[in-house]
Amino acid sequence: MGTTKTEIFNEQQNRLASVLKALAHPARIAILQYIVKQNSCICNDLVDELGLAQATISQHLKELKNIGIIKGNIEGTSICYCIDSQKWNQIKLELDLFLKEVEIPSNCC
Amino acid sequence: MGTTKTEIFNEQQNRLASVLKALAHPARIAILQYIVKQNSCICNDLVDELGLAQATISQHLKELKNIGIIKGNIEGTSICYCIDSQKWNQIKLELDLFLKEVEIPSNCC
DNA sequence: ATCTATCATCGTAATATTGCGATATATTAT
DNA sequence: ATAATATATCGCAATATTACGATGATAGAT
């Protein structure tokens, strides 16, 4: 009990839910927006930018990295994170498909 | 501790995260897809369709209802749930905007 | 009025998430 | 070698989520 019963859902549903979950936190949204804004890659300017502890930021970065949205390159003593364009495009397609898939049937209610 | 620090993020980020969180569960994705598939509204055929207890389904429906994605009409002894088209279109726009907003900057990594 | 079917809600157990301080690790500078 | 800087990871506390049985509430049928 307490665990999501992934066995009873299909691949698409589980994958979609995972991606959405990875995005479903304001800090992770802020991180993505910050990476985009900076144009060039950034590291833990995020700790200053957002008001979260370094350990917390690192954890959020890890989640984004796990799902594949971002990737990190070692750059001297710091690490440069950026969006994995290939993965992001893939995710974008998948989410877009879902958004379009949920179309409103005739006005039943 | 243990709670998301919503104060440090902006409205858009928090709202977006809430919507994504509401969608970030395979059962809730399945529920939305089922409502769409049925074209007409459905109630707790979901309990048979998905392999979850009635109490669990009801809870998931509540979350979707709270965020406004679906609404329920009493229909005799059962309840007819359907997608709130206005709200869904609004959500779709917002998510779409975010998906487009996160564009890949020049190949920095 | 009583039974039945459909939902919602309550209470609870198991597990997951969020956040942080402390510590470990790795790279560069001195 | 040592110090400084940037990240990652560990361990923990607080809280949230997921799932379900039991119990309420409501509407239609008998």
pLDDT of residue A104: 75
User: Whole-model pTM?
Assistant: 0.94
Interface of A with B in 54-83 (CB under 8 A): 71-73, 80-83
Mean pLDDT of B78-105: 92
Backbone angle region of A80, left / alpha / beta, with phi > 0 → left and psi within -120 to 50 → alpha: beta
- Distance CA(A102)–CA(A89), nearest Å, equals 20
Mean pLDDT of A53-79: 94
pLDDT of residue B106: 59
CB A26 within 8 A of CB B13: yes
Looking at the predicted structure, is the pLDDT value of residue B76 above 90? Answer: no
pLDDT of residue B108: 66
* Nearest alpha-carbon partner for B26 in A8, A87, A67, A93: A8
Rounded to a whole number of angstroms, the distance from the CA of B67 to the nearest CA of chain A is 14
H helix or E strand, kind and range, residue A73: strand A70-75
Give chain B's radius of gyration (CA, Å): 17
Q: What is the mean pLDDT of chain A?
A: 92
Q: What is the mean pLDDT of chain B?
A: 92
Which CATH architecture fits A19-98?
Orthogonal Bundle (1.10)
* Nearest alpha-carbon partner for A85 in B20, B93, B106: B106
List Cα–Cα distances, A81 to A28, A43, A106, B90, in angstroms: 13, 6, 45, 31
* Nearest alpha-carbon partner for A50 in B8, B12, B4, B3: B8
CB A54 within 8 A of CB B10: no
B107 band by pLDDT with thresholds 50, 70 and 90: low
Looking at the predicted structure, is the pLDDT value of residue B73 above 80? Answer: yes
**pLDDT for B18-50, tens place per residue?**
999 999 999 999 999 999 998 777 878 999 999
CB B46 within 8 A of CB B78: no
Residues in reach of strand D, judged by a CB distance below 7 angstroms, are A 1-5, 43-44, 54-55, 58-59, 61-62, 72, 77-80; B 1-3, 21, 24-25, 27, 52-56, 59-60, 63, 74, 76-77
- The topology under which CATH files domain B10-98 is Arc Repressor Mutant, subunit A (1.10.10)
Q: CB distance B82–A41 less than 8 Å?
A: no
CB B71 within 8 A of CB B82: yes
The answer to whether residue A44 neighbours chain B at the CB level (below 8 Å) is no
